[in-house]
Amino acid sequence: MIDPRLSVVSLARLARLALLVLCAATALRAAPAAAQPAQPDDRSKAASHFKLGQTYYKSGDYERAIAEYKAAFELSKEPSLIFNIALCHDRAQRPEEALKEYRHYLDLAPSGDVADEARDEVARLTPIVDKRAADRSTAQAAEEAARRERERREAMSRPAPPASRVPLYIMGAGALVVAAGGVAHVLAVRTRGQLETEQDPEAYFNGRDTFELQRNVAIGAYAVGAATVLTGLVLKLTVFRQRGAPEVSAAVTPHGALVTVGWSR
């Protein structure tokens, strides 16, 4: 069934174009101010493209109809051809393109023969186009969220790389230092026991110097070893942290330090 809107516009324009082919002195309807008047040969070609576009439109071949209407418009600058292009897009279920062409027609001929109908079509299609745009935006957001979720699941399913041994080496070195401090501690205790029974003053003072040295070595070794072990532990839980292992974060404040430990799956 032929669209009655197109029939009214098409038949009138077809008659006009046919008359212009026969009477070159008759001008087409007013084109935009920037357009150049069509030449007789252009009018003839425009009429041919228009007739062919009508044939394609009636057969439902809207793509070819649009191409012919566009070719006719390039030659004649007749605004009604833009209205026909909008009708083709509308029939082809392309509301965005149809709305654009209806508005284009109103820009060219705001007082044209079918300007009121074009405005009605703009009012009808605007909410449809807005809704489709909102639906596309929602669909894109959902697709993006789904993509991120897939990437997260893929990352979680990948086998974790082997744990680095660097933190273990650091903690092992710290443990050795602590052990060395323990040895110095035992020696210091033994030296202190000897001092309790020492009678020779010179030997006593020499033994006391040895005791203080051993004690200082033990204290220093305990402090350095403990700090080293703690450093290795922090590295294991932060820099070299494995998936699912406790996570440690630390912050230094003017009044001290804050350490938090958490687990994530």
Burial track 224-252 (b if 16+ CB lie within 10 A, e otherwise) = bbeebbeebbbbbbeebbeeeeeebeeee
Q: In this predicted structure, what is the pLDDT of residue 155?
A: 78
CA distance 6 to 14: 11
Q: In this predicted structure, what is the pLDDT of residue 258?
A: 62
Q: In this predicted structure, what is the pLDDT of residue 28?
A: 30
Residues 88 and 3: beta-carbon distance below 8 Å: no
Candidates 120, 131, 110, 49; CA nearest to 85 is 49
CA distance 3 to 73: 20
Q: In this predicted structure, what is the pLDDT of residue 120?
A: 96
Candidates 238, 241, 258, 242; CA nearest to 250 is 258
Q: Tell the residue number behind the tokens 């060219």, with chain if given.
A: 108
Q: Is 264 exposed, middle or buried (0-12, 13-18, 19+ CB in 10 A)?
A: exposed
Q: What are phi and psi of 54, to 5 degrees?
A: -60, -40
Q: In this predicted structure, what is the pLDDT of residue 88?
A: 96
Domains defined along the chain, listed by start: 4-133 (1.25.40.10), 166-263 (no CATH)
Q: In this predicted structure, what is the pLDDT of residue 152?
A: 87
Half-sphere exposure at residue 188, Cβ-oriented, CA atoms within 13 angstroms: 16
Q: In this predicted structure, what is the pLDDT of residue 161?
A: 65
Q: In this predicted structure, what is the pLDDT of residue 43?
A: 86
Alpha-carbon distance values, 49 to 35, 67, 109, 110, 215 (Å):
19, 9, 21, 25, 107
Candidates 60, 68, 54; CA nearest to 7 is 54
| Per-residue tokens: 182 | 């323990």
CA distance 46 to 27: 13
Q: Which residues fall within 8 angstroms of residue 59, CB to CB, at 6 or more apart?
A: none
Mean pLDDT by 10 residues, the chain (265 residues): 47 43 30 44 90 94 95 93 95 96 95 93 96 92 91 78 78 88 85 76 78 87 87 75 59 62 53
Q: In this predicted structure, what is the pLDDT of residue 117?
A: 95
Amino acid (1-letter code) at residue 261: V
